[in-house]
Chains A and B, each alone.
Chain A
Amino acid sequence: MEKEFIKNTERSITLNVTGGKIDSFRSLEKTTGTVRVYENGCIGVAGCLGEPDENELTEKAKEALAFGIPYPCHMEEPLEMEKRQEKEIIPVPEFIPTMQAFLDRLGEMCPKFAFSNKISQTYNYTEYKNSAGRHLVSSGWTLSVELVIQNRGSGNLFDTFLGWSGDHFDPDALAGQVKKEYDAFYTPADLEPGRYPVIAGSFDLIARFFQHFVGDLYAAGASLVSGKLGQKMFSDKLSVQCDMNPETAPGTSFFDAEGCVASDFRPTIIEKGVLTGLLTTKKTAEQYGLSTLGTAAGAYDGVPELGFRSVYFEPTEKSLREMVPGKAVYVVVASGGDATPDGHFATPVQMAYLMEDGKLVGRLPDLSIRGDFFDMFGKDYIGTVHDDPLKGSMLSAVMMDVTK
């Protein structure tokens, strides 16, 4: 009988912000434990909330083998590896005053904006070990600033948004970016309907198509990319990976729920336009004769399941200006769109700026954008930029039809 043991701990401090003022402080500490055992082609799983007792969980997992859930047993080979970042980003006693000072600064710089929602600092610890001798430990801190911004007097739930997370706190950079958006927000801009470069978060652009990279759908022939593994389908400039590298995805474990570790901590789906990988677990990989991607997730008391952490688009240019000289639509909020089964995508854009030569010049009215999956990531894919406008940001540009 083979066995895996996983322990996860999450500790977080979260501040609630209402109208630029911190009005609550929440502390959370949650530890979970998991044991999975494998015997005769089946898996048994047991999990607990709180500090795990490995022996007790092992006995319960053995009992769960009786459910007869088929699962292949492919233990990862022996490996000792740990990547730990134990130092908090902002000491807890300083968290409220530091963040209130930051919010006060934003309020002074942007008096017509009202800031609300959450700022949090989170510690994640994950330990994985298996009976084949693999033992992996990951830990890290993440600071997350998720501020809803209302234009005072607009009557809207929210008008724009500041979302950033990373392993450091640079109030000057964050405040500087908010000020640039603030100045552009109150400068009306317009655009004739037509085809334009559209800049958005890389994952936001591909999110509605992500199901098509799931191994099950691929094998069923129901994916837009079914039968195309190993084939060139997209732009030469497009390389898409799952980011499990703590250098670029702070707080993320560098291994998946089945103990898989990718060579550069970034399992690859698309390499220079060629479809090279699909989202699988060890079970679905074996079922469909595919490779294990190494991005599995799983509830603490559950069988491994499909998972995906942060997306990583390989950068193609160094700055937004290099990537998109001239006019572009810089999307901040685009909610509610969808794609038809044959890959035609359309979404309203609730908040966008006109960008020229990499600079925000004004706020655009409500727009609609449309594109086709194969074109958006094929002939219409322009590129990806990292760390512009903020360290840790990742933005991609594609040509799309823009209408009002």
Chain B
Amino acid sequence: MIQFRDGFYADIRTEDRSRTFISYKAGILEEMKNRVEKQAFLRVYDGNLWYYSSVTDVDHLQKALDELYSAAKENAHILDDPMVKRFEKNQDSIMSFQDCSVRDISLKEKQDLLLSYLPLLSEDPCITMPMGEYLDRNSLFHFQSSLGADITYDYQTCGVVISCSMVEGEKKFTGNWQKGGTRFDQMQGLEEEIRKSVKEQTSFLRNSVPVEAGKYPVVLSPMAAGVFAHESFGHKSESDFMLSDESMKNEWELGKMVGSPILSIVEYGNVPGCGFVPYDDEGTKARKNYLIRNGALAGRLHSAQTAAALDEGMTGNARAIDCTFEPIVRMTTTYIEGGDLDFDELIAPIKKGYYIKDIRHGSGMSTFTIAPSLAYEIIDGKLGRPVQISVLTGNVFETLGLIDGLTKDVELLSFVTGGCGKMEQMNLPVGFGGPYVRVSSMNVQ
């Protein structure tokens, strides 16, 4: 039983994390391991400075906490601190994966699943370096604070990743396919999905043509639209960037029009998948937060520090990649809400444009970029030849204003590799997605 002291705010976050990683390259087993780690991150706040400690010795948390107390200064008014007043005192237990924990599935069963998919990469002679990976993670989080918060929840992801080099003559392409989910049984029976994707990518290798650089209408898939929402606007909603400059609050006044009236972007940690965060790493319960609603700036993402500084409510977005780091303002699952069209209606008015089906990466500052991996021409309202595009770019706010069509259906995506990077904390699992999104003009290179 942890003994918290009066005159300070303190919290302790522990994670018991199990990860499995199995990989094959060119039919040879490269790695097979299950790593189980227990770590804790402790925080003490005295009203002036935060004192943090990351420890692997989770059996002696009281000692680590007492060391932090000794570095801080007792503050009789700590409970009046605007930040401390915002911390929630939730007590809850959300155990979603006890009946299907990947910890209970043997390495052999996971290995056999991966092996069953590898022959699919031998069906085309252009594939020269077939690779397959199985990854899973099951985490048990426990959060407790000096205010009485006591939360336990579990988290799980698992997935299969297939990749390969494709070579035919002078043509080269790196093929990728990934399926992420939260249960092992979701990873079974994927043969046809993989085969179809490999076939599409080999066709891309053989038939794709260089793009004619210029400005064109572009249709983004849910994958590309999700990355666009995350990179171009999601990061701008992380309000820690507003703390250093008082003029930011005027620049980012809620209600200001920042996009097309048909555009709404949502951020929500309670969505099943890799961005599932029912309570953030400060013990705040997840809320559905609109970042943009009908084109207007509707909200932003907070930790207790930023909510107090900007005098706004908590949102449940204080996250750390693991117990090595302190929580900072991060996204969970970010998506664009759907519209009223189907896909054929969306592309029908386009005389010449491009459809971005899959991407390698994206970024967003004042200018956003999307690096497509699979893209197609749209000619006279129909999909055409595959095209090689190195990058799509544009001014973020101009482009948000140029969104002029959305499909009805929204697809949310989950991943087992990669993740969001922010300064020193890389590869945080986040979910994203959206409908198919039409932008009337984008710079295509």
Contact = CB atoms under 8 A, between A and B. Distances in A.
Interface of A: 16, 18-20, 22-30, 45, 47, 49-50, 64, 67-70, 114-118, 146, 148, 150, 152-158, 216-217, 219-222, 224, 299, 301-303, 305, 333, 335-342, 344-348, 350, 366, 368, 370
Given A70-B28, A116-B243, 10 more contacts: A19-B244, A157-B365, A222-B165, A301-B35, A335-B363, A336-B367, A336-B369, A337-B369, A338-B390, A341-B174
Interface string B1-33: 000000000000000000001000100111111
A158 B422 CA distance: 12
A154 B248 CA distance: 8
* Residue among A45, A69, A341 with most chain B CB within 10 A: A341
Interface string B42-76: 00000001111111110000000000000100000
Given A67-B32, A155-B248, A26 B326 contact: yes
A347 B391 contact: yes
B245 A220 contact: no
Contacts of B171: 341
Interface string B160-172: 0000011100111
B49 A19 contact: no
7 contacts: A49-B56, A146-B423, A221-B128, A336-B367, A337-B390, A338-B360, A368-B393
Contact of B390 (A26, A220, A224, A345): A345
B324 interface: yes
A24 B245 contact: no
A25 B49 contact: yes
B236 A157 contact: yes
The 6 A-B residue pairs whose C-beta atoms are closest, nearest first, are A336-B369, A336-B363, A222-B165, A155-B251, A19-B244, A114-B244
Contacts of B170: 342
A158 B167 contact: no
B245 A150 contact: yes
A220 B167 contact: yes
Contact of A24 (B49, B244, B362, B371): B49
A366 B244 CA distance: 23
A47 B45 CA distance: 35
Nearest to A64: B33
A29 B55 CA distance: 7
B353 to A, nearest CB: 20
Contact of B56 (A26, A50, A303, A368): A50
A338 B49 CA distance: 41
Nearest to A50: B56
* Residue among B28, B235, B371, B390 with most chain A CB within 10 A: B390
B71 A25 contact: yes
Contact of A350 (B174, B252, B324, B365): B365
Contact of A26 (B52, B166, B388, B423): B52
Q: From DSSP, what is the main secondary structure of chain B's interface residues?
A: strand
B167 A222 contact: yes
Interface in B288-317: none
B37 interface: yes
A69 B388 contact: no
A156 B365 contact: yes
Nearest to A151: B245
A68 B111 CA distance: 12
B129 interface: yes
Contact of A303 (B30, B173, B324, B369): B30
B369 A301 contact: no
Contacts of B53: 26-28
A60 B390 CA distance: 47
A170 B187 CA distance: 54
A220 B128 contact: yes
B366 interface: yes
Contacts of B245: 19, 114, 150, 152-153
A371 to B, nearest CB: 11
B49 A118 contact: no
B424 A118 contact: yes
A39 to B, nearest CB: 16
A20 B390 contact: no
A45 B368 contact: no
Contacts of B177: none
Contact of A25 (B21, B50, B241): B50
Contact of B57 (A16, A50, A217, A222): A50
B101 interface: no
A16 B243 CA distance: 13
A28 B167 contact: no
A324 B173 CA distance: 36
A336 B35 contact: no
